[in-house]
Amino acid sequence: MRKNNRIPLSPCLRRFRFYFDLLGKTAKDYLFFTDLQENLVMVSPNLVNDFDLPGEIMHDFDQYWVPLVHPEERGEYQSSISKVLASQVPCEHSLEYRVKNRKGEYIWICCRGRVGLDRDGNPYMFVGTMSRMAQRNQADEVTGLLNKYHRATGEGGAIMVFGLDNFKIVNETYNRMTGDIVLKRVADVIGNVIPPELTLFKLDGDEYALIYPNAKTEDVAEIFASVQSALSRPQDIDGHQYFCTASCGTVFYPEAGKDYLVLHKHAEAAMDIAKREGKNRNTIFSKEQYNRWVRSISMRDSIWESVENGCVGFSLFFQPQVSAVDQRLIGAEALLRWKNPKGRMVAPMEFIPILEETKLIIPVGKWIAEEAIKVCKRWRRFVPDFRVSINMSYEQIKDLSFKNFVEDCLERYDMPPDSIVLELTESKIVADWSFINKQFDSFRHLGIAVAMDDFGTGYSSLASLKNLSCDIVKIDREFVKKILENDFDRRLVQYVVDLCHSIGISCCIEGVEEEAEYELLTKECKADSIQGYLFGHPESVTDFEEKFLQG
């Protein structure tokens, strides 16, 4: 209902009233329009209603408004307003502050307004909007509850933030309305399994938060397990069946922070980690993991930039591979290096998972292949049968354009297929033997050798040997480390090499650091080739040439 305190409109307000009312019908925000000469303000009905103001037209608005502004922000509010109104150039008032609503609660609003000048340059009108800051208000609400618990018990507890897995797909496949129903349904499901005295907050998007006073690790695990099991049943919505699992990030307070905003940020990061690690799980916040997460987020941005700028910052190092029989240099493995924008070398273990996760390994992998082939062409001048081994991620083997790219590259540089070897780590591929084999075979048909990398690190090593058709097996350093003191390990290497030889696969041993290891591996184990610090570390192109080719 319209509240009318019967103050007549000034000519200026009358002129704009029509537009103002029209705007008020479409906007959710609060609107205001001030005739500065008459000190008369016109506000939208929602503002009158929510803050119990005397009417839509008011003289000297601040007499009603200032008392409602939170004392902590009152000074800031008044100085911002007077500064804007005194200005002789059009300028903006923009401030976030709390105001008391008709229920007596302080809510955060963001107020933006601009002063218009008349032809003589005098402030003439002041127009703008105020919007409710939903997230900040929610944070206050949760903080209020947290403080209440804290005062009541004096003890800490846990905050669990739940986020739906793959919710975007629901929205994209169906529509927003179905999405909203799913969100509501999931809230009910979670609400039903948590202890009745706890409150579940609906947060922005597809997230929910639960405050659990005095919770221990076991309590949190138990709650998550019940949520998980409740969500493992399909939800029937409008005749469609949905499986909608949730990931969760948990922080314990006060250990992980005292301020709700900090705690929430940490819980959300833990949830993001839970999603990255495979979804449908709960991750408990730890400072170390959080720091790693922050680093990986900023690293991801820098990596994108590097790739967009034509792989600047990336380079290839090469580690020599020698024949086990006579220590002759037969090739090298190309190992990717990346310098971040500050010029610091980042370990491959850190940046390669990011390249894989973002699928940037696909363009970068092509860059690697091309660089490696170029280098191999150069080095064949010194060693005519030189071969470069190129690491290939699972993502790359799934990308069918990689094979064509490699084939085309060999052609462009006029290099035979036996100048490269493609290495694939077996630990990631257990699921899909027949597909991998098909891809391997298509490379082998071209005459390109494929190697199974890191043999012995995954638990399915023998299974992959049985299932994968490859030309070379690279036995990991894990196997080699103890061969000098451990008879079993030595025999194991010996048998694996034997087995490989019996089916025509050659064996390269990685991580050979000592002369005695080398002796054993060649004489007793009959390895074919060796790659390890004993014969050389990974080096840049120029250093490699200097050390191994021109000497």
Binding site for Ca ion (CB under 5 A): 391, 423, 453-454, 510
CA distances from 116 to 31, 388, 400, 550 (A): 16, 70, 61, 77
Q: State both tokens at 284.
A: 């408990």
Minimum distance between the CB of residue 372 and ligand C2E, rounded to whole angstroms?
8
Q: Which of the listed partners (Ca ion, ligand C2E, none) does 133 bind, with a CB threshold of 5 to 8 Å by partner kind? A: none
Q: Which of residues 357-396 bind ligand C2E (CB under 6 A)?
A: 368, 391, 393
Which residue, 95 or 509, is less far from ligand C2E as judged by CB? 509
Please say whether the beta carbons of 127 and 114 come within 8 A.
yes
CA distances from 469 to 357, 399, 479, 530 (A): 27, 19, 22, 21
Minimum distance between the CB of residue 400 and ligand C2E, rounded to whole angstroms?
17
Which residue, 165 or 453, is less far from ligand C2E as judged by CB? 453
**Buried b or exposed e, range 67-90, using 16+ CB within 10 angstroms:** ebbeeebeeebeebbeebeeeeee
Which residue, 423 or 528, is less far from Ca ion as judged by CB? 423
Supply φ then ψ for residue 159, to 5 degrees.
Answer: -115, 125
Minimum distance between the CB of residue 279 and ligand C2E, rounded to whole angstroms?
24
Q: Does 513 bind ligand C2E (CB under 6 A)?
A: yes
Q: Does 524 bind ligand C2E (CB under 6 A)?
A: no
Please say whether the beta carbons of 253 and 156 come within 8 A.
yes
Which residue, 250 or 391, is less far from Ca ion as judged by CB? 391
H or E element, residue 479 = helix 477-480
Supply φ then ψ for residue 524, to 5 degrees.
Answer: -90, -40
Q: Does 461 bind ligand C2E (CB under 6 A)?
A: no
Q: Does 320 bind ligand C2E (CB under 6 A)?
A: no
For helices 348-357 and 287-308, angle between their N-to-C axes, nearest 10 degrees: 70
- 254 CB contacts (<8 Å, ≥6 apart)? 156
C-alpha span between 332 and 217 (Å, rounded):
49
Which residue, 29 or 423, is less far from Ca ion as judged by CB? 423
Which residue, 80 or 419, is less far from Ca ion as judged by CB? 419
Supply φ then ψ for residue 392, to 5 degrees.
Answer: -130, 130
Q: Which of the listed partners (ligand C2E, Ca ion, none) does 321 bind, with a CB threshold of 5 to 8 Å by partner kind? A: none
* Binding range to ligand C2E, per CB under 6 A, among 54-62, 189-197, 230-238, 528-536: 528-536
The binder of ligand C2E chosen from 348, 353, 417, 458 (CB under 6 A): 348
Lookup result for tokens 């000098």: 484
Q: How many residues bind ligand C2E (CB under 6 A)?
A: 20
Which residue, 170 or 346, is less far from ligand C2E as judged by CB? 346
Q: Does 539 bind ligand C2E (CB under 6 A)?
A: no
- 440 CB contacts (<8 Å, ≥6 apart)? 424, 450, 468, 469, 470
* Binding range to ligand C2E, per CB under 6 A, among 174-182, 329-337, 465-473, 540-548: 329-337
Give contact residues for ligand C2E (rule: CB under 6 A): 319, 334-336, 348, 352, 368, 391, 393, 425, 453-454, 477, 511-513, 531-533, 538
